Structure 1
């Protein structure tokens, strides 16, 4: 019975929003909280295999122990090369200096590394214990060799492989390298933050910078089949993480801003439906946030596109009252032009 009770409590623990508060209830729950297998299951259940390690590092050494990280990796939490690159670039200098001789990590100036950079306190990865970092690096070296110490990171490499005035052609030309980046090096961007007001790069809290996510979304809009590669390696959150940016990108390409308005060919709602359906079938959603993002995209020229956008929303959204509500709430802010109110 005691074993059964513990197993039930372990299962309950996986779905608790704040496990630390539960650990303070009594000694039994505290024992469950201390179990590294239970903690690792909590991370995987809450954040998925793709982002479990990111959030484990974010919660710090009081939550992430060596046994927990061992359990996470044993349970197939994804150790991407990008994750390790970011970890090495953002964890505290004290940790890197202590680890340097052990793993033969080279630094340009050891004297600078010896100095504690107090401005990094509370940054993502700053208070990681040395034994946890050492274990992560050892596992990463088994997977990727010493390439984890390369200059730059895999997000910058993706940008290099896809950035061009003729991005679609560049993506096709570099497709084998992009596939290698995703399938073999497990490139997975860090999750987006709910606080998009920070524009620092890299963000001190570890979350992916909005500029980086825009680069990723642009690549997906141009080559949506890449989503299948990310899902193939276990990154099933790709649609959720980039949903608004991708949906907005589809509409942005449908109504380019820098073309001659007299020679511009406007798609109708059916053409947009066909374009958008490709992404909806992959798992993207035309939800409230996405529709709002599209309207804000066209805030300076809403009177030019509002009818087509409204009709395209209606083709996908069964709740027509929601579509009308969004247009009434947000479009009314942008319909004033030259002192004239333009109706939809």
Structure 2
């Protein structure tokens, strides 16, 4: 693990009781504000065993930052310091929006979980574009994904995604089409086959044929088998670059914390089993013909390794950092290196989809 990540983990252990005594959203905003002045990272955590290629993009290691942490692309420049092999910002909508009323972010400490109903709160794509341009003016040591969504009150949500692609595609190493948040009413209906085909056609129309940007699709874990089959067929037909499995869940396993019944999407440890199963389902449905990104409830190298062996080419984390500290990505990446060696793989990428 990098010295920087180790140092910040030590500091976080000291202040964590104070952080957890603070409103979740306020603590998050303070964290982003503290990270923003950091110098840009000049190198990535990598090794021959960790480096991988997905959708024609070179990833120094397979551990990424999930969207939601850096909604407005304020701290992407600093996140490789913590061991991340790629960073995904957003969700960004065409127009700024305040999101849902507060409180809207709840820690479930006893469950190592989070419930959020943020509602795509962000400052809009134009403001984020200016920040990303400044960051990308210099060499950026890891791939940058940009997650796009639709405004809540939009009269034409498909047009919003097309606008997002037009505005952000030129700035991104990949674009994620997020139609799986449970916190914008009606958004998940865009996962229906007909609506999804129309949406992806509209997004595709905004591609630069000379330099098309890979398009990833983020799906919900709350899907039926027929939904999975349809999504895979559309993904293959529209030549999507990857599927991200999965977003937060509206289901409620047994939880202990007092905020367990709050409305919104559940993430963290209780999502682990469902997200892993959905990844396996998508791997089976696709026969390994489309890359998968595993996300949801990953807090250890062993859990990330299980996701990779189940079919994930990349993994993402966010909620677990609240409980495990900011050095988690570096610990997972170095742990994956050791697990690959233990199991006889020269590279972590060689274990994708081997089962186990």
Could you state the TM-score of these two structures normalised by the residue count of structure 1?
A: 0.32
**Relative to total residues, which structure has the larger helix share, 1 or 2?**
1
Structure of larger gyration radius: 1
Relative contact order, higher structure (CA 8 A, sep 6+)? 2
**Relative to total residues, which structure has the larger strand share, 1 or 2?**
2
Could you state the TM-score of these two structures normalised by the residue count of structure 2?
A: 0.31
